A and B are shown apart, each in its own frame.
Chain A
Amino acid sequence: MFIRMIAKAFFRQWKKMAMIAFTIALGASLATAMLSVMLDVGDKVNQELKAYGANITVVPKGTSVLSSLYEMGEDENISGAYLKEEELGKIKTIFWAFNIADYAPFVNAELTLDNGDTVKMRGTWFNHHLSLPTGEELDAGVTSMRSWWDVIAGDWLDEQDDSGLMQAMVGRDLAEKEGLHAGDVLHLQGSSADAEVKITGIFDAGGDEDSEIYVPLDLAQDLAGLEGKIDSIEVSALTTPDNELAEKAAKDPSSLSVSQYETWYCTAYVSSICYQIEEVISDSVASAVRQVADSEGQILEKTQLLMVLITILSLIGAALGICNLVTASVMERSQEIGLMKAIGAHNIAITALVLTEIFCTALIGTALGFFAGIGFAQIIGHTVFQSAISVKPMVVPIVIVLVALVTLVGCIPAIRMLQSLRPTEVLHGR
């Protein structure tokens, strides 16, 4: 009989039930969408902040102290310490390998042009294709790590281009001084070899790089006679904002207790990633570029907090909306319930009936709303970040508990009213 009554209620009053289900679906979709976006926004914004370039630099031990001190700003490597090129791939094997978004090695040297001018050359990766032992494929290099460069003539150098010509990119100031244009062929004289390169593009970096020439790493190593050697590595990593533990660890990892050390090592702090890079690259010092690393943390924190607060507001809004409608729709049925009471129904029986009806409706609404919410989250993800928002499994229980709780709370005033209802008065129409 109970089941029949409920089934009847659905068929007879499907319009009202549909409206309740619809409102609950709206609320649930709002909650799902906002929670998904909120939980994923950190990763997404972190990815965007990669626009500022590397947040970790790796240099050989020794040079970090010596290099620019004596030569006063010159990048000439005088200490004779280098990193090994063959170890580069290891950066993608550290504990937080997944958080290494991009990296590029650099070799610096001076070249002589045909007219006798000396220019600074940097050899690096542009869009170097990496096939990692883990099966991951990655294009790493300055093309993505120098997103603020404007290529004012020509194009970015493409390492996969196999026309057989050696290529280079030239800074704006240098191009103006030497009268170079995109497409020109330039003769470069290095300390141990020389080469003819085709200029693929001229860039405007708004900094010192504007008077330098950029060439692929292997060419630079040939020209300068530094086969297999690199001067520095820039790493762009997705990191967690620093806290006290991270600051303590950054000063001296050995000052931590075992459990603190584990927490630190297994969290993507910039200092723990530096530490792990030092472990795999022999004789290296990895240090955080504070300008990028610290600011990133600040902005991430603020954005996340902002999203949390907006999410809370919309959750409260969704909750009150559902609550309200449930109350309104139960109150509306006072006559029907009065009649039931008049023919002898107990309060408990009526409450059970109403609750079951509402919860069945809520279940359907939540299911629909959940998928609609994922849809909304994806719309936001694709429009803003051009990538999908990953839906965390924890969103499901949160939404279910939220809707259940809210529906129950919405029923409370209505049920209290039902119980105090006097059948004669209601049926009389007062």
Chain B
Amino acid sequence: MKKRKMYFRMITASLLRRRSRMIIALLAIAIGATILSGLLTIYIDVPRQMRTQFRNYGANMILTPAEERIQPEAVAAALSFISQDEIVGVAPYRYETVRINDRPVLAAATDMQGAKAASPFWRVDGEWPDSDGEIMVGKNVADLYLLRVGSKTTATYMPEEATEDTLDNSSDFTVTGILDTGGKEEDYVYMSFADMQQLTGKDKGYDVCELSVSADAEGLRAYADRITGELSSVNAKLVKRVTQSEDTVLSKLQALVLLVTVVVLMLTMICVATTMTAVVAERRKEIGLRKALGASNSSIIAEFMGEGIVLGAVGGLLGALLGFWFAQTVSVNVFNSSIVLMPWLVPVTLLASVLVTAIACMIPIRSATDVDPALVLKGE
């Protein structure tokens, strides 16, 4: 009992007395631990964060009707197969040919909020329509019909079973935005479902529904297979260009962060080890003196190791917290979202820093204890 008490006293006294040295050692370990926990957190969290960035490429799954049209209930049923927090955007579309100035143009009815979320790359000059009677037109349509933001126009719809005396339906619209995508979307006119229904008198079925889901290619394929398999009215297809490319690029990015993490960690750990070695090597004389006074090698090693472990643990804890703070800063700055706390990283960081410290201390202690105390004390 007494012996153990003495052991603790020696360790704490040594740590407190040699303050400046110990602060150096502690700092070194804390830096190493910060880098370890910070980079590991980033490495693990980056794919998730990056995946949300890749959703900028727009829809990666398309629901098409097996028969005539998809009903809203079928879309809801399909969505229930996908985990809710993975759904980034849902944009149903219904296409009809309408006439503006007696020239045909394709009109698409959609849920504006959904389209905005599913296709973040759409550039709208002006505003997205947010009430009935407002439309957004593609750039090409705007050029052709000389429409600008704020212009008013009339769209007419000719029912298919038109006879001589049926009148065309027509509605007045205000253009709130002009859409620039560089793709075929520029040839369409976008309006709300309510407007479309009023104009054409047709029900609410969708021609196609675009989904933007934040999942990897395999997860997406599983969802698509399940939706197609279990719902008879809907076929789910993946947009290969988006899913495949995303996996290619993302795996590269992850490999990059992994390799950077490995290189940085390796170098930092060696750096920490050399500093610890320098701090301990300074105490060769002390080791020699103790040996001369009759201390056994094992008791010297035990004491120095005790010190090292205390330092490693304190430094590791400090580093784990700082590392989390760093990862959080990075995440907020880069991705505007906070990081997922991984509690298991704390013990891992602690263990790694204790281990590195112990190994780093071991080398100079070994060399000092192996030598004849007389030589060490003499300074050779």
Contacts and interface: CB of A to CB of B under 8 A. Distances in A.
Interface of A: 16, 19, 22-23, 26-27, 29-30, 33-34, 37, 41, 45, 48-49, 51-53, 57, 64-66, 68-70, 72-73, 147-150, 204-207, 287-295, 298-299, 302-303, 305-307, 309-310, 313-314, 316-318, 320-322, 324-325, 327-329, 331-332, 376, 379-380, 383-385, 413, 417
B102 to A, nearest CB: 13
B256 A384 contact: yes
19 contacts: A29-B267, A30-B264, A48-B252, A51-B248, A52-B245, A65-B143, A65-B144, A69-B144, A205-B240, A295-B58, A302-B335, A306-B42, A306-B46, A310-B39, A313-B38, A328-B275, A328-B279, A332-B282, A376-B263
A290 B121 contact: yes
A302 B264 contact: no
Contact of B274 (A295, A306, A325): A325
Contacts of B326: 313
Given A29-B267, A290-B183, A325-B275, A380 B123 contact: no
Interface in B65-112: 97, 103-106
Nearest to B282: A332
A65 B145 CA distance: 10
B271 A27 contact: yes
A324 B27 contact: yes
A305 B334 contact: yes
A325 B278 contact: yes
Interface-central residue, B237, B241, B281, by most chain A CB under 10 Å: B241
Contacts of B307: none
B236 to A, nearest CB: 12
Given A207-B240, A325-B275, A327-B24, A290 B53 contact: no
Contact of A313 (B39, B104, B282): B39
Interface in B236-284: 237-242, 244-245, 248-249, 252-253, 255-257, 259-260, 263-264, 267-268, 270-272, 274-275, 277-279, 281-282
B4 interface: no
B232 to A, nearest CB: 21
B202 interface: no
Contacts of A51: 244-245, 248-249
A316 B264 CA distance: 12
Nearest to A64: B140
A225 B95 CA distance: 34
A299 B54 contact: yes
B109 to A, nearest CB: 16
Contact of B259 (A27, A292, A380): A380
Interface stretch (B6-14, B28-36, B128-136, B153-161): B28-36
A287 B27 CA distance: 55
A53 B31 CA distance: 43
Given A310-B42, A324-B24, 8 more contacts: A37-B256, A51-B244, A64-B140, A73-B106, A294-B56, A299-B53, A299-B249, A376-B263
Interface string B221-243: 00000000000000001111110
B56 A310 contact: no
Nearest to B237: A206
A149 B24 CA distance: 57
B39 A22 contact: no
A322 to B, nearest CB: 8
Contacts of A310: 39, 42, 257, 260, 264, 330
Contacts, number: 218
Contacts of A332: 278, 281-282
Contacts of A306: 42, 46, 257, 330, 334
A149 to B, nearest CB: 8
B122 interface: yes
B260 A380 contact: yes
A34 B264 contact: yes
A144 to B, nearest CB: 13
B8 to A, nearest CB: 25
B181 interface: yes
A331 B22 CA distance: 12
Contacts of B35: 313-314, 317
A34 B263 CA distance: 9
Contact of B241 (A16, A53, A324, A328): A53
Interface-central residue, A72, A310, A385, by most chain B CB under 10 Å: A310
Contacts of B20: 331, 413, 417
Please tell me the size bucket of the interface on B. 35 or more
A313 B20 CA distance: 24
A332 B275 CA distance: 12
Contact of A318 (B39, B46, B267): B267
B298 interface: no
A302 B330 CA distance: 10
A206 B335 contact: no
A332 B282 CA distance: 6
Contacts of A73: 106, 184
B50 interface: yes
A383 B334 contact: no
A309 B182 contact: no
A376 B329 CA distance: 27
Contacts of A41: 256
Contacts of B195: none
A406 B238 CA distance: 53
A220 to B, nearest CB: 22
B141 interface: yes
A384 to B, nearest CB: 5
A-B pairs, top 3 by smallest CB distance, nearest first, are: A206-B240, A321-B271, A295-B56
A316 B282 CA distance: 26
A333 B54 CA distance: 56
Contacts of B38: 313
Given A290-B183, A291-B182, A309-B333, A33 B263 contact: yes
Contacts of B238: 206
B187 interface: yes
A211 B326 CA distance: 51
B180 interface: yes
Contacts of A328: 21, 24, 275, 278-279, 282
Contacts of A29: 267
A17 B56 CA distance: 53
A380 B237 CA distance: 36
Contact of B245 (A23, A148, A290, A298): A148
B31 A320 contact: yes
A366 B32 CA distance: 21
B53 A309 contact: no
B173 interface: no
Contact of B57 (A33, A295, A379): A295
A205 B238 CA distance: 10
A72 B282 contact: no
B167 to A, nearest CB: 24
A148 B119 CA distance: 20
B53 A321 contact: no
B275 A298 contact: no
